[in-house]
Structure 1
Amino acid sequence: MDTTHHWITTPITAELLRGALELERTAHGVLPHRLPARARAQCADGQLAMAEAQPSGVRLLFRTRATAVELDTLPTKRVYVGAPPRPDGVYDLLVDGRLAGQAGVTGGNTLTIDMTTGSATHRPGPAGTLRFTELPDGDKDVEIWLPHNETTELVELRTNAPIEPAPDRGRKVWLHHGSSISHGSDAAGPTTTWPALAASLGGVELINLGLGGSALLDPFTARALRDTPADLISIKIGINLVNTDLMRLRAFTPAVHGFLDTIREGHPTAPLLVVSPILCPIHEETPGPSVPDFTALSSGQLRFRAAGDPAERASGKLALGVVREELARIVEQRAAEDPNLYYLDGRDLYGEADSAELPLPDELHPDAATHRRIGERFAKLAFTANGAFSDRSA
């Protein structure tokens, strides 16, 4: 520890955190969750357990005169057998809403995943320390956005001046649910996932329930959305229903209706935006499942391919074209009785021209530049003019 500072330790409590639905006490500290315990108990999927515990959109927020901040954390790093090493998760420091620093934490636990067998092994490791110094003097709002793609237990928070919870700025709360693209996939950092960028441009508080490998119309997720206070709500549905080959069209339509019905039980009049998948060329006409491309993996690249057959759409298998057409139809049908329900075609966020310029590196996930483009497009389409989240509609 830097002995030039007189450190004050502040307990990490829910009132200092934004973007988490629940805090779990662990042997080391606290673990932010983006799904509540009751939801987690209803699904034994290890992928979902990993995704919801990765703190996309979760940030520490406090007001202080401190010029130095230290945060001890215990990260869980992912290693994919045969793939290039993943960089350490990024922590973004914001002072009065502006990016003022970035850093990572070394050490931590290691989760080694073998995509050829589906197995995963966990090796424990030590906590590390995040350190930001030379912050401007005087009262200020300090935010530390946790890595969007790295499970992070919060162990201890130290500052060289007292802190207090930041006051409510009166901003609307935007609750968003989607898949790994909404979770952040290959964004450069936690404030540059497309939902974080869009929230910043829209001037709203983000709660990001983007769940890598999920967004599968799970009823427990709908109930979590129903029970979370929010002013604006969006759900981005489709790609993982295709690439997991989870359900046929017969199940998809009532599942979407049920998901929307559940959300409306808790938010009967909030603007609710249904967003269909962005362009994903391998699955536009070809159903899932998606499988790793082992030819690419043997040369150190992580890529995916569609293993379905376009002819299977005739028997109700889902491809993205089918999903978009049905989502648009469902929203149009329901909007007759629900004037605050809206639809956005995901290809307006990332379409043919974007794919030609910025192709998806692994065939499924956008890169950092594409996250920025999607975030800017969403902000323009949703938060301005006649968008679903504009003041005129809200």
Structure 2
Amino acid sequence: MTTSSRLADTPLAGELIRGALEIESTGRGLLPHRLPAWARAQCADGQLHMAESQPSGVRLVFRTRATVVELDTIPTKRVYAGAPPRPDGVYELLVDGRPAGRGSVPGGDTLHLDAATGTAARRPGPAGTLRFGGLPDRMKDVEVWLPHDETTELVALRADAHVEPAPEPDRPVWLHHGSSISHGSNATVPTGIWPARAARLGGVELVNLGFGGGALLDPFTARTIRDTAADLISVKIGVNLVNADLMRSRAFGPAVHGFLDTIRDGHPTTPLLVVSPLYCPIHEDTPGPAAFDLEALAAGEVRFTATGKPDERASGKLTLNVIREELARLVARRAADDPNLHHLDGRRLYGEDDFAELPLPDGLHLDAAAHRRVGERFAALALTGAGPLAARGRRRV
């Protein structure tokens, strides 16, 4: 790492970090988490642990006159056996809310994953440095958005002027929970994930609990939402339950009720929006589990396929259409006694016509253009105007 002698260290502390629910001191640096330690301890799934440690929606926020800012981090690069190399995670710089630079950090740890054997091996590596120069010489608000899809330990922050925490924003806090689509899979930059785009357009402060492969109605996730301060809440339910083939119809309805009951224990009147799955042809009427398309993988492409059979719906297997119908009925029943509970059909965010124009590149996840579209539509349908989550005064409960 090469640094300038003009730069002074700024202690990395929790008041500079937004969007994380917990900050772990690792001995090498600070690791932002999107689930608290007690919740992580209740699940041994390596996929969830990896997903929640990837700082989707997490950013450093501070005020400074600095013209140069450097950040040392230890990223975790993922290598999947048989799959093409993944691009390095992207950091984005915003100055007074406007894009001002991007970069990646070399080095770091490497996590080797083999889907066929279910094994994972980590190899430690060195910290790397991200440098942003040429910033305007005036007092300004600076945000550094961390890579949404790359676990990142924060090691050091340096600048050529004093750094101080930015004032707490006078915006409602929107907490969103969902699957890999909400996490940001296939988005190219951290502010390009659809929740970040929607938050910017809706004028809200994002806490993103979108976990790749981890939107599974886990009770510890519901308790985490219950215990987290928020003015607006949305939960996108469905696709992971299908592609993991986790439960049958008999369990689904009661599990959703329990999930919502737990959230309501901590947020009895907070506007709460239940979002059903976006359009995804492989699972509309075909149950999971989902699996890698081995022919595509052999050709160097990552694609997914559904391995269930449509006639298995008769035995209670879930599909996206089954889930949409049940969520619509369930929310309508509950809303009779809960006027702050709302429902949004996910196909209004991304439907069959959108798929024809912006197809899912791997059969399961949005591309960057579709993330932008979904974010814009969510802002229009939910966060602004007459939308169910439109900010009407700061409540923070």
Structure 1 CA distance for aligned equivalents of residues 355 and 199 of structure 2? 24
Is 1:271 matched up with 2:250? no
Residue 104 (1) aligns with residue 104 (2): yes
Partner of 1:123: 123
Deviation at 1:129, TM superposition (A): 0.3
With normalisation by structure 2, the TM-score equals 0.97
Q: Which amino acid aligns with 1:105?
A: V
- How far apart, in 1, do the equivalents of 2:92 and 2:287 lie? 38
SS of the residue aligned with 2:381?
helix
Query: In 2, distance between residues paired with 1:55 and 1:169?
Result: 20
Q: Sort the Cα spacing of 1:300 and 1:224 in 2 relative to 1 into closer, same or farther, 3 A.
A: same
Unaligned runs of 5+ in 2: none
Gaps of 5+ in 1: none
State the Cα RMSD in Å.
1.2
Deviations 1:230-271 (A, max 9, x none): 000000010000000000111110110010011111111111
**Structure 2 Cα separation of the partners of residues 75 and 117 of structure 1:** 25
Q: Which residue number in structure 2 is paired with residue 308 of structure 1?
A: 308
Is residue 200 of structure 2 the alignment partner of residue 162 of structure 1?
no
Offset of 1:4 from its aligned partner?
Answer: 5.2
Partner of 2:81: 81
How far the C-alpha of 1:169 sits from its partner, in A, is 2.6
Change (3 A) 1:241 1:376: same
How many Å separate the matches in 2 of 1:86 and 1:391?
Answer: 38
Partner of 1:386: 386
| 1:318-357 alignment runs, 5 A limit | 318-357=318-357
Contact 1:386 1:393 in 2 (8 A): no
1:8/1:363 Cα in 2 relative to 1: closer, same or farther (>3 Å)?
Answer: same
> Are the structure 2 counterparts of residues 53 and 4 from structure 1 closer, same or farther at C-alpha, using a change threshold of 3 Å?
closer
Q: How far apart are the structure 2 equivalents of 1:211 and 1:386?
A: 29
- Distance in 2 (CA, whole Å) between partners of 1:13 and 1:393 is 29
Q: CA deviation at 1:205?
A: 0.4
Structure 1 residue 23 and structure 2 residue 23: aligned?
Answer: yes
Instruction: Give 1:66's aligned residue.
Output: 66
Q: Residue 373 of structure 2 aligns to a residue in which SS?
A: helix
1:312-355 CA-to-partner distances (Å, cap 9, x unmatched) read 11111100000000111111000001000010000001001001
In the aligned structure 1, how far is the partner of 2:331 from the partner of 2:160? 52
**Could you tell me whether the CA contact under 8 Å between 1:5 and 1:160 is conserved in 2?**
no
Once the two structures are superposed, residues 145-181 of structure 1 have per-residue CA deviations (whole angstroms, 9 ceiling, x without a partner) of 0000000000011111111110123101000000000
Q: Given the two structures, how large is their TM-score scaled by the length of structure 1? A: 0.98
Q: Confirm or deny: 8 A CA contact 1:271 1:393 kept in the other structure.
A: no
Distance 1:224 1:340 in 2: 20
User: Secondary structure at 1:187's aligned position in 2?
Assistant: coil
Count residues with an aligned counterpart. 394
Superposition map of 1:179-258 within 5 A = 179-258=179-258
For the residues of structure 1 that align with 2:158 and 2:3, how far apart are their CA atoms?
12
1:383 CA drift (Å): 1.7
Counterparts in 2 of 1:265 and 1:289: CA distance versus 1, 3 Å: same
Mapped to 1, the partners of 2:384 and 2:169 lie a distance apart of 21
- Change over 3 Å in CA distance of 1:251–1:369 after alignment to 2: same
Specify the code of the residue in structure 2 equivalent to 1:90: V
Question: How far is 1:120 from its partner?
Answer: 1.5
Could you tell me which residue of structure 2 aligns to residue 37 of structure 1? 37
